Amino acid sequence: MRHVVKKTILDVKPYVPGKPIEEVKRELALKNVIKLASNENPYGPSPKAFEAIQENVRSLNRYPDGDCFYLRRELARRLGVKPRQLIFGNGSDELIVMAVRAFVNDGDEVVMAQPSFLIYEIASRVAGADIQGIPLKDFCYDLPAMKRAVGPKTKIVFLGNPDNPAGRYITQSQMADFLQGIREDVLVFIDEAYFEYVDAPDYVDSIRLIPRHKNIIVARTFSKMYGLAGLRVGYGIADEALVDLLNRIREPFNVNSLAQAAALACLKDQAYYRKIARRVKAQREFLYLNLRKLGLSLIETHTNFILINVGQDATGVSDRLMKKGIIVRDMSSWGLRHFIRVTIGTETENKKFISVLRNIL
Ligand SMILES: *Cc1c(COP(=O)(O)O)cnc(C)c1O
């Protein structure tokens, strides 16, 4: 098969997700396993999501609404955009893939930070793009360098805001400087998977940039704060003409009916998510304090994960944590040899993590 598959696929390293809890239990014969590897919401979604799923489960023989009518209407109202400015995906991963499919030809260039979310690179490589990976500067995006990297062949720039894996954000004025003079035929893909966690006053309000910058798409997801990672719903916000282009390559039933119902119910329960945000913030402080007590340095984050310098080979530390039933992300393969990325868990999970980490180090 190797000789018939598209040449670009041979260069792609498969995405390695955080190990599922059940797999670690099975492989290491452990009873209790904590997963802090995929930035999920450990408290689960709003209880309203379960009710919505119950109500819709009887219609599983029917195709979902390919247009996501109710979810679209509710989100458009909340965001202050037109319903036709929204596009839905099977997770926001699918929006990344759709954008690349729509814009990138063999030999084009895609600009991204190095390291950044792996799907940007995987999707771009499959399309045959050359990757311009711009190193982080003090763990922040080097936006001036990223802008200089935009050349005549550039089709997309990926901006994670906040980014994964460092958890830093782009301010209003940094974004304005970046967009100033960027060609209109370059798609600026702003990935806001952790949008709901940010409370910095100077965080860019990217949706308000769309009327002036019709080449922006803002992607968000129900997988992180909203706690619906298993159902797969994400959405993009962009100018109607751009949404119309992406819709041409969208699979007609890409968001399933239970996902649509659950996402809608979650949106209507903001009180629940305010509570989650407060808990995560408190637990973030708990982890900062205790990691620093262990003499570790970390990158201050605006998300529900923390990039931690463990001061030694991260693969060794991750493996030892795994043997004690704690799954974290080893960042070695992202070029960060001494770093692990840890999701902010519940109080119990974080205490366990700190105590096991103390023993290991
Ligand atoms: C988790 C994540 C996503 C996508 O998640 P979906 O589950 O596909 O919506 C996108 N971008 C970043 C940076 C992420 O961390």
Q: Roughly what angle, to the nearest 10 degrees, separates helices 314-323 and 21-28? A: 80
Backbone angles phi, psi at 332, to 5 degrees: -55, -45
Instruction: Write the CB contacts of 42 (distance below 8 Å, at least 6 apart in sequence).
Output: 343, 345, 346, 349
Is the CB of residue 112 less than 8 Å from the CB of residue 121?
A: yes
pLDDT reported for residue 6: 84
Q: Which residue is closest in CA terms to ligand 1's atom 12?
A: 193
> What is the Å distance from ligand 1's center to 344 Cα?
16
Pairwise CA distance, residues 20 & 242, whole Å: 36
Cβ of 40 below 6 Å from ligand 1: no
Predicted pLDDT at 19: 86
Structure confidence at residue 18 (pLDDT): 82
Which atom of ligand 1 is nearest to 90's Cα? 8
CATH class of 47-267: alpha beta
Nearest CA to ligand 1 atom 11: 193
Alpha carbon of 81 to ligand 1 centroid (Å):
22
- Nearest residue (CA) to ligand 1, atom 1: 193
Ligand 1 atom index nearest CA of 93: 8
Chain region(s) in the chain for CATH 3.40.640.10: 47-267
* pLDDT tens, residue by residue, 83-100: 999 999 999 999 999 999
Mean pLDDT of 223-235: 98
- pLDDT of amino acid 5: 85
Task: Read off the tokens for 99.
Answer: 């954008």
Q: pLDDT-derived band of residue 3, with 50, 70 and 90 as boundaries?
A: confident
| Any ligand 1 atom below 6 A from CB of 91 | yes
Q: Is 236 in the pocket of ligand 1 (CB under 6 A)?
A: no
Three-state SS annotation for the chain: CCCCCCHHHHCCCCCCCCCCHHHHHHHHCCCCCEECCCCCCCCCCCHHHHHHHHHHHHHCCCCCCCCCHHHHHHHHHHHCCCHHHEEEECCHHHHHHHHHHHHCCCCCEEEEEECCCHHHHHHHHHCCCEEEEEECECCECCHHHHHHCCCCCEEEEEEECCCCCCCCCCEHHHHHHHHCCCCCCCEEEEECCCHHHCCCCCECCHHHHCCCCCCEEEEEECCCCCCCCCCCCEEEEECHHHHHHHHCCCCCCCCCHHHHHHHHHHHCCHHHHHHHHHHHHHHHHHHHHHHHHCCCEEECCCCCEEEEECCCCHHHHHHHHHHCCEECEECHHHCCCCEEEEECCCHHHHHHHHHHHHHHC
Report pLDDT digits (tens) over 233-272. Answer: 999 999 999 999 999 999 999 999 999 999 999 999 999 9
Alpha-carbon torsion (111, 119, 305, 273), positive or negative? positive
CB 170 within 8 A of CB 209: no
Query: What is the residue with the minimal CA distance to atom 10 of ligand 1?
Result: 193
Inter-residue contact 36 to 353 (CB < 8 Å): yes
* Average pLDDT, integer, range 271-298: 98
Q: Is pLDDT of 305 > 90?
A: yes
Residue 227 CB less than 6 A away from ligand 1: no
**pLDDT given for residue 49 in this prediction:** 98
Please report which confidence band the pLDDT of residue 57 belongs to, taking 50, 70 and 90 as the band edges.
Answer: very high
Comma-separated ranges of CATH 3.90.1150.10 domains in the chain:
9-44+271-360
Q: Which atom of ligand 1 is nearest to the CA of 38?
A: 1
When the pLDDT of each residue in the chain is averaged and rounded to a whole number, the result is: 96
Kindly give the distance from the C-alpha atom of residue 355 to the centroid of ligand 1, in angstroms, as a whole number.
Answer: 29
Lowest mean pLDDT, pick from 19-33, 116-130, 134-148: 19-33
Give yes or no for residue 109 CB within 6 A of ligand 1: no
CA of 360 to the centre of ligand 1 (A): 30
Ligand 1 site, residue 223, Cβ cutoff 6 A:
yes
Question: Does pLDDT of 10 surpass 90?
Answer: no
Model confidence band, residue 14 (pLDDT cutoffs 50, 70, 90)? confident
> Model-level pTM?
0.96
Q: Which whole number is the average pLDDT over 305-315?
A: 97
**Statement: residue 1 has pLDDT above 80:** no
The fold of 9-44+271-360 is Aspartate Aminotransferase, domain 1 (3.90.1150)
* pLDDT tens figures, 167-204: 999 999 999 999 999 999 999 999 999 999 999 999 99
